[in-house]
């Protein structure tokens, strides 16, 4: 009973916060400068990581680029240097703990402990819409992305609990991206996203310090619906969304 009374006392604050959020929708967010900042990008030798590196190079960040693919990493670095950025490259296997720790000695400022000490920095987690809403036949993928979203949320709360206000967090949650990772994806939410579109939204989210970036924005609404709608209705809704992609090896798809 006491908990319910406490909730009722919070109702005026809820109204104020909702009004504040509504007003902010119509106020352009100020973009912060990252000129001269150290920017560590993993997976920088291809795809989203490479395009993100190009955008930070244009903004004159000091780039520390990691990838297991040396050739791809060197190509990215060359383009970034051509854009006027200072670039440092390391061939790193991000699945190898010792490899990460060895490289970390050369890029200490890129990590959380240093950020917390200086109360300055920004940690970006690349997750997926599959980190909020499950997709059949993508069990391992969705599980890893749920973990990434959980990492982002918990880290955000821990920084708040420690009153470390200068370290920001952002989590990217896009729909299928046209990178070839998943073959021929399609949904009723729209066509597969182009990497350039995703990176543009990501950069805007980082520079305006958004906590969660959903692409398309309708995914945010779907995550709310999944928590409040009956399971039977959700099953119908998921059929309407009609997620399709080429069969995953090891699964036998039923004929349509």
List residues with catalytic annotation.
141
Q: Which tokens sit at 34?
A: 């990252």
Please tell me whether residue 174 adopts helix, strand or coil conformation.
strand
Partner residues linked to 186 by β-bridges: 244
Instruction: Please identify which residue in the block is written with the tokens 């990581």.
Output: 49
Separate counts of helices (H) and strands (E) for the chain = 10, 6
How many CB atoms lie under 10 A from the CB of residue 32?
A: 13
Which of 147, 108, 101, 93 is CA-nearest to residue 125? 147
Residue 85's φ and ψ, nearest 5 degrees, are: -95, 150
What is the Cα 38 distance to its own chain's centre? 19
Q: Which tokens sit at 243?
A: 């997620």
- Write the CA distances from 43 to 21, 25, 47, integer angstroms: 35, 33, 8
What is the Cα 232 distance to its own chain's centre? 30
Partner residues linked to 65 by β-bridges: 41, 89
Q: Which tokens sit at 205?
A: 């989210």
Q: Which tokens sit at 86?
A: 């200072």
């Amino acid at each position: 009973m006491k908990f319910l009374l406490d909730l009722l006392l919070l109702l005026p604050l809820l109204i104020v916060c909702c009004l504040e959020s509504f007003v902010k929708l119509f106020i352009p967010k100020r973009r912060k400068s990252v000129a001269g900042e150290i920017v560590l990008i993993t997976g920088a030798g291809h795809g989203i990581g490479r395009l993100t590196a190009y955008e930070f190079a244009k903004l004159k960040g000091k780039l520390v680029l990691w990838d297991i693919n040396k050739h791809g990493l060197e190509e990215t670095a060359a383009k970034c240097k051509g854009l006027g950025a200072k670039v440092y490259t390391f061939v790193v296997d991000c699945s190898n703990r010792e490899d990460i720790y060895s490289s970390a000695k050369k890029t200490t400022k890129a990590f959380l402990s240093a950020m917390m000490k200086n109360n300055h920095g920004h940690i970006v987690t690349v997750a997926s819409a599959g980190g909020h809403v499950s997709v059949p036949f993508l069990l391992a993928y969705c599980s890893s992305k749920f973990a990434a979203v959980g990492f982002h949320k918990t880290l955000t709360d821990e920084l708040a609990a420690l009153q470390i206000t200068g370290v920001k967090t952002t989590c990217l949650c896009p729909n299928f991206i046209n990178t070839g990772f998943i073959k021929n994806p399609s949904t009723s939410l729209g066509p597969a996203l182009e990497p350039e579109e995703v990176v543009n939204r990501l950069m805007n989210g980082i520079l305006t310090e958004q906590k969660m970036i959903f692409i398309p924005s309708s995914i945010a609404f779907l995550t709310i619906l999944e928590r409040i709608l009956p399971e039977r209705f959700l099953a119908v809704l998921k059929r309407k969304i009609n997620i399709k992609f080429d069969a995953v090896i090891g699964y036998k798809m039923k004929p349509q």
